[in-house]
Amino acid sequence: MGRHPRPEIKEQLLNAATDHALAHGLPDRLEPLARATGTSTRMLIYHFGTRDALFRAVLGHARQRQLDSFGALLRARPGEHYTVTLRNAWAAMTGSEGRPFLRMFGQWRETAVEPLWPDFRRAATTDWLGPLADGLRSIGREDHATLVLAVIRGLLMDLDATADISRTDEAFQQFLSSLGRPPAPT
């Protein structure tokens, strides 16, 4: 009689594999994930079916962690002007908290792994429009969500290419000052 899958073990393996992928990038083979999870490649296949299914699960799990983390950072806070929220979110996204997500998904977009999640680039863009529009609504600028997202994504690409945090931070601060306070109603 064969073994029955145990969801709690699969969840533990997924968490450990995701932690490893966020720290080191998504590998092209199963062995690094087997070592990181303390199991064998055979057991990873047993729990996830195929290498690609495991990679998709790791990417999806990491993406959900990013959505939860960055989504909380972008949420408007009572009594705090949204440009302050955006400044704090930028600092967290480009700091030690956000860097693993940026590294992993930045690396992934440039590799041949795209067949694992064909719609990722579109989803990774449009996922943020709603939270940004909601936050920007608090300062009467919800129509600027695409612009804010484009500036953030562009500066993140710049930061990834140059590692010049001072210059990209300064550029983001200048952009935030252009949002300013909404004009008084006429």
What structural domains and CATH numbers belong to the chain?
7-179 (1.10.357.10)
- Asked if pLDDT for residue 2 goes beyond 80, the answer is no
The whole-number average pLDDT for the span 162-167 is 94
SS3 content of the chain, % helix, strand, coil (to 5): 75, 0, 25
Mean pLDDT of the chain: 88
Average of per-residue pLDDT across 104-117: 65
Residue 105 has pLDDT above 90, yes or no: no
**pLDDT, position 182:** 43
Confidence of residue 111 (pLDDT cuts 50, 70, 90): low
pLDDT at 5: 64
Name the 3-class secondary structure at 152: helix
Instruction: Encode pLDDT of 7-62 as tens digits.
Output: 888 999 999 999 999 999 888 889 999 999 999 999 999 999 999 899 999 999 99
Q: Is 22 helix (H, G, I), strand (E, B) or coil?
A: helix
- Calculate the alpha carbon distances from 38 to 14, 47, 123, 149 in Å: 12, 14, 32, 39
